[in-house]
Structure 1
Amino acid sequence: MTKRSDEDLHDLVIRNGTVVDGSGGQPYRGDVAVTGGVITAVGSVTGSGTREIDATGLLVTPGFVDLHTHYDGQAIWSDRMTPSSSHGVTTAVMGNCGVGFAPCRPADHETLVDVMAGVEDIPGVVMVDGLPWTWETFPEFLDAVASRQRDIDVAAFLPHSPLRVYVMGQRGVDREPATAEDLSQMRKLAAEAVHVGALGFASSRLTIHKTESGQPIPSYDAAQAEIEAIARGVDDAGGGLIQFVPDLLAADYEQALQSVFDVAADVGLPVTFTLAIGNAGPALHLDALRMVEKANANGGEITAQIFPRPIGLVIGLELSGNPFITYPSYREIAHLPLAERVAEMHKPEVRERILNDSPASDGHPLMFAVQAFDWIFPLGDPPNYEPSRSDSIAARAAARGVTPAEEAYDRLLDDDGHAMLLITLANFRDGSLDTVAELVRRDDVVLGLGDGGAHYGMICDASFPTYMLTHWARDRATGRLSVADAVRELTTVPARVAGLADRGRIAVGYKADLNVIDHGALRLHKPTVAYDLPAGGRRLDQTAEGYVATIVSGEIIAERGVPTDALPGKLIRGRQPAPA
């Protein structure tokens, strides 16, 4: 009997799949072998694996990289980074928009909770119950994240607002100008954060990013000198990425965006920023892209981060918002359990009172959109994220001969009050995603904005990788992407932007983060409401079918949509080089 050599043995072999390697090149039939958490062979693999997967007729892709999440809290209190890990994501970057939980002195816990509750729709009670606050500094926070087992890898930006409050105290909360001493301290702490593993730093000056108490976030109007001081701290420790959310609706957005581009050019750092496409009106996104082109032509490294379906909200009686959330007459019954509230709303006198009421002036900044009935659509199962304008609440109301408010009221009561509506705030220009189709093909554009771990009661966008592979790479009649291009946009491109060159490819030496996918059977389900956050908090979740296996560091974390016991996810500390 011939003794088999170690070269013939593998931890895992995926056999006979259609390998889509993340490069954008032509898919090919082959095997993938994994040993020690690393891809060790691709093509025709000899020998056997301790575990083997027959991938005949299935896609084999790298694990997906999500650049824009807010798992800062969920990574502390949970071992599952869902919805992201349910959609093939194996690496999630958190700390975006300049909000997070470190650095933070004990006296400022409530301040940061107020910021996160307002900006990211995370209920305060969830954070109070779920965060142990065993850290003060950013290095201590990363240690807390690293000590927790989880399904996928996470990485973090240093968030601007907590840094500002940590250095300046109440002056930072009140958005007073930073002194020279403040700037020196911010630079020092930014260097410290990157030294221990931050991928860079994140900031925002978006107008609707307000605290739960209604104030602009601490970083909102920070001066260019402050951005530069933090950027120089990042550079002092070896460099990293600047993530920025401009206010594209503000009159001075070009100036604010240019100031960040100028800092990046002076210091020598890359930038990725949020880009939204207006549904109508001036094409401001084109102006922003011209700025990107100019900056990159002068040696910059700028990417516009876009979302591949409408940027929007999911609303309903069970969620954070609905068209009547600010009506005093609705607020009288808003506290009732769902079934009781639905029963009340079915009463003719209650219906008439609410429909004849007017919204109050207070409420979440995003609630201004819940009256935009031309851009609100029923969200069914399967969910349609590129609906016809004829299916809008306004169009349906006209067809029925009722007011849009009446149509919205009636649709909210469907499915015993569990019905959901989709508000398409942006990216749905002229009622289609054609503009998105054009932009995702650009080299200076990267996918992101999934927002996993945040907006628990109004957004469920972390499912976008499944949408890319179904809508964009299979189902859309026009503007369709090839599977190879869609996978590249979900893997190699975001990995490069994040500075994580060790993943996003199927090639020897790369990290063994992989997906095995039945592309023909891939289906995105309608969001559902779960009550699995700390303190019984509510969140939107969304699942899919068609993921045969998701693999992190060579370990299978889910099979056919069912999580396994494997929790191989790690904290990524800093940028990672490509395999030798």
Structure 2
Amino acid sequence: MSSADLVFRNALIVDGSGSPGFEGDVAVNAGEIIAVGSYEGTGMEEIDATGRALAPGFIDIHTHFDPQLCWDSLATPSIEHGVTTIVTGNCSLSLAPVHKHGISKVVSMFEVIEDIKKRTFDAAVPFSWETFPEYLDHISQGLGINVGAMIGHSAIRLYVMGENAQKRAANAEEIGAMCVIVEEAMAAGALGISSSYVDIDENMDPVPSRFAELDEKIALCKAMAKSGRGVWQVVPFFPDPVQQLANIKELGEISRAAGVMCSLQPILSSPDSPDAKESIAALEEEHAKGARVYGQVMPRCFDLNMRLSETSMLLYGLPGWKAIMDEPMPGRIASFADPDRRTALVDEMSAAGGMSAAVALLRVGQVKSEANQPFVGKTLMEIAASEGRAVGEVVLDIALADDLETEFQLVDVLNANKEAVAGLINHPLCHFGASDAGAHVTQFCGTGDTTHLLEYYVKQTGQLSLERAVHRMTGEVAKDWGLSDRGLIAVGRPADLVLFDPQGVSVGESIFRNDFPGEANRYVREGRGYAAVVINGEIVLRDGHYTEARPGRIV
């Protein structure tokens, strides 16, 4: 009689293909699945999975765990939500390639764009590498989770062009040098290239990728495609719907010219366009022309928090406020309290447009001062109206009473129409993604979207079947993103598995923790209902607790 390292008995097997689930056994040996459906042999460990679902490990295609993997090889709390593979290096940013003299620039872009503090980098990111293959070698030691790593377009341009990366288009020689870097990265295991149409750096200047012309982008994609796989990922200029549509059109040109799949995130449901019909129509038009261009959709409301003691994307459009936000604590408190600056700050917020206009919709969350307790749960607009004051005055007074640590919450504004979001999640040209896990960590926690999909859209509302939801998080993205050996429960596949209770799975409230290097803070969300998470045949999470296993790979 044959034997296996691990056997799950009597599970509801949801195999990631989208096919109906079925009861049976799954056996694992030497990191691979050796039997599905029935297994007559024995296992060194056998788990009775009666009443629980067994699915392929979930895949998160949009994260920014690049720095965190240097001190946290598990990319916590991803695995607690059934995630076994993360894709890093999105939005044109990666930690390599990098010259020693370019490290400070890379760090500053991560700090401004992804809200990962310089003091965290200083404490825990060694920059002991220069090339992308060297970075992959560094993080692969003791890796706990699978990583598909994108190489960042802005990082490539900065490495090749230096300061000129943010001044002009690249010449033929520079494009050639960039293509060599891409080919080396792909040969070492990179998953693709990421770029950006929208991001700005610490000086409010466009990031290097935004200076690239179409010929450069196509050349990089052709270099990438020589490896036989590769994704071109971008964040569009989402503040302007017209520009976003132009970005989608250009992605179509890139896809057709280079024969690659392109991905943009996010596609959001907004009050003005709940079904994102303009973006969806643009994606459909490009597909009709032969391009492979997909959007990424998140299942949660795009809620975020603002603390004047941390970082806030809502204040980037207010130069006076942002200038103070860039100051270190505690000097920042003195600047916000300066009576000579108050009038200008209040007036600037009163005239806010774009994302900054959403500040008035923030409601007061966690507070420290007793004087602020009556405001909890009220929006700044409501408080300002009841007191006959400007919103800027209210923000300053409440925040200063808490030493700037007040939590202001933006809730149920973007992606809040759940029926419309369900339609986007189900759309064939939208991938399940856009979590931004590992980034914006003092404003929200992107990790947990997998659990939210199962809890809300499957368990609570039935807007997706369990099989459909699992397929969207596993087999579908694995196939389209070039993770060809992942995403399915099938004989011969690597054993990335998640065992969970479909009726008991739930995502916890966001918790603000001080557990990042450099005494930095972040939001986390706990996952419940997961009995076991297996990565490459080894149990990494059991009943909510991590084991000593660290079997992750670069995929």
Name the TM tier (shorter chain): 0.7 to 0.9
- Distance, in Å, in 1 between the alignment partners of 2:531 and 2:252 is 42
- Distance, in Å, in 2 between the alignment partners of 1:423 and 1:29 is 43
Q: Give the match for residue 508 of structure 1.
A: 491
Percent identical among aligned pairs is 30
Cα distance 1:220–1:103, how it changes in 2: closer, same or farther (>3 A)?
same
Matched, 1:77 2:71: yes
Post-superposition Cα deviations, 1:395-423, rounded to whole Å, max 9, x if no partner, equal 86599788795987899899999874432
Post-superposition Cα deviations, 1:409-444, rounded to whole Å, max 9, x if no partner, equal 89989999987443258643xx52222111111111
After superposition, residues 416-495 of structure 1 pair within 5 angstroms as 420-424=407-411, 427-428=414-415, 431-476=416-461, 480-495=463-478
Post-superposition Cα deviations, 1:504-552, rounded to whole Å, max 9, x if no partner, equal 1112222211111122222211122222222222222221221111111
Of 304, 328, 346, which residue of structure 2 is paired with 1:313? Answer: 304
Q: Give the match for residue 265 of structure 1.
A: 256
Post-superposition Cα deviations, 1:445-477, rounded to whole Å, max 9, x if no partner, equal 10111122221211211110010011111123x
Task: Give secondary structure in 2 for the equivalent of 1:193.
Answer: helix
- Distance, in Å, in 2 between the alignment partners of 1:323 and 1:289 is 26
Matched, 1:88 2:78: no
Task: Give secondary structure in 2 for the equivalent of 1:102.
Answer: coil
CA contact 2:267–2:295 (8 Å) conserved in 1: no
- Distance, in Å, in 2 between the alignment partners of 1:487 and 1:370 is 37
Return 442-451 or 250-259, whichever deviates more.
250-259
Cα distance 1:524–1:400, how it changes in 2: closer, same or farther (>3 A)?
farther
Matched, 1:16 2:10: yes
The CA deviation at 1:565 is: 1.0
After superposition, residues 232-381 of structure 1 pair within 5 angstroms as 232-250=222-240, 251-277=242-268, 279-281=270-272, 285-316=276-307, 319-321=310-312, 335=329, 358-359=345-346, 368-369=355-356, 371-374=358-361, 376=362
Q: Give the match for residue 208 of structure 2.
A: 218
CA contact 2:309–2:329 (8 Å) conserved in 1: no
Using the size of structure 1 for normalisation, the TM-score is: 0.83
Task: Give secondary structure in 2 for the equivalent of 1:157.
Answer: strand
Post-superposition Cα deviations, 1:299-348, rounded to whole Å, max 9, x if no partner, equal 322211111122242234665349999769x989994699xx9xx9xxxx
CA contact 1:552–1:568 (8 Å) conserved in 2: yes
- Distance, in Å, in 1 between the alignment partners of 2:459 and 2:380 is 30
CA contact 2:261–2:292 (8 Å) conserved in 1: yes
- Distance, in Å, in 2 between the alignment partners of 1:135 and 1:525 is 37
Q: Give the match for residue 547 of structure 2.
A: 564
CA contact 1:427–1:435 (8 Å) conserved in 2: no
- Distance, in Å, in 1 between the alignment partners of 2:514 and 2:504 is 29
The CA deviation at 1:212 is: 2.5
Q: Give the match for residue 372 of structure 2.
A: none
Q: Partner letter of residue 155 of structure 1?
A: G
Q: 5+ residue gaps in structure 1?
A: 345-349, 381-390, 573-580
- Distance, in Å, in 2 between the alignment partners of 1:240 and 1:542 is 31
Cα distance 1:323–1:293, how it changes in 2: closer, same or farther (>3 A)?
closer
Q: Give the match for residue 172 of structure 2.
A: 180
CA contact 1:175–1:219 (8 Å) conserved in 2: no
Cα distance 1:331–1:197, how it changes in 2: closer, same or farther (>3 A)?
closer
- Distance, in Å, in 2 between the alignment partners of 1:337 and 1:521 is 47
The CA deviation at 1:203 is: 0.3
- Distance, in Å, in 2 between the alignment partners of 1:138 and 1:35 is 32
Of 147, 150, 153, which residue of structure 2 is paired with 1:157? Answer: 150
Of 180, 183, 189, which residue of structure 2 is paired with 1:191? Answer: 183
Cα distance 1:19–1:399, how it changes in 2: closer, same or farther (>3 A)?
farther
Q: Partner letter of residue 193 of structure 2?
A: F
Q: Partner letter of residue 426 of structure 2?
A: R
- Distance, in Å, in 2 between the alignment partners of 1:226 and 1:332 is 33
Q: Give the match for residue 47 of structure 1.
A: 41
CA contact 2:92–2:194 (8 Å) conserved in 1: yes
After superposition, residues 521-536 of structure 1 pair within 5 angstroms as 521-536=504-519
Q: Give the match for residue 578 of structure 1.
A: none
CA contact 1:194–1:200 (8 Å) conserved in 2: yes
Post-superposition Cα deviations, 1:547-573, rounded to whole Å, max 9, x if no partner, equal 11111111111112111111111122x
Cα distance 1:367–1:320, how it changes in 2: closer, same or farther (>3 A)?
farther
Post-superposition Cα deviations, 1:338-359, rounded to whole Å, max 9, x if no partner, equal 9xx9xx9xxxxx9x99998844
Q: Partner letter of residue 471 of structure 2?
A: R
Q: Partner letter of residue 558 of structure 1?
A: L
CA contact 1:379–1:526 (8 Å) conserved in 2: no
Q: Partner letter of residue 119 of structure 1?
A: I
- Distance, in Å, in 1 between the alignment partners of 2:358 and 2:231 is 37
Return 218-227 or 418-427, whichever deviates more.
418-427
- Distance, in Å, in 2 between the alignment partners of 1:322 and 1:298 is 36
Cα distance 1:248–1:334, how it changes in 2: closer, same or farther (>3 A)?
closer
Q: Partner letter of residue 201 of structure 1?
A: I
The CA deviation at 1:276 is: 3.0
- Distance, in Å, in 2 between the alignment partners of 1:170 and 1:331 is 25
Q: Partner letter of residue 125 of structure 1?
A: R
What is the RMSD computed on CA atoms of the aligned residues?
Answer: 3.6
Using the size of structure 2 for normalisation, the TM-score is: 0.87
CA contact 1:276–1:426 (8 Å) conserved in 2: no
Task: Give secondary structure in 2 for the equivalent of 1:440.
Answer: helix
Q: Give the match for residue 369 of structure 2.
A: none
- Distance, in Å, in 2 between the alignment partners of 1:548 and 1:419 is 36
Of 6, 9, 27, which residue of structure 1 is paired with 2:21? Answer: 27
CA contact 1:393–1:404 (8 Å) conserved in 2: no
The CA deviation at 1:154 is: 0.6
CA contact 1:18–1:59 (8 Å) conserved in 2: yes
- Distance, in Å, in 1 between the alignment partners of 2:29 and 2:21 is 23
The CA deviation at 1:116 is: 0.9
- Distance, in Å, in 2 between the alignment partners of 1:422 and 1:51 is 46
Return 535-544 or 353-362, whichever deviates more.
353-362
Matched, 1:62 2:56: yes
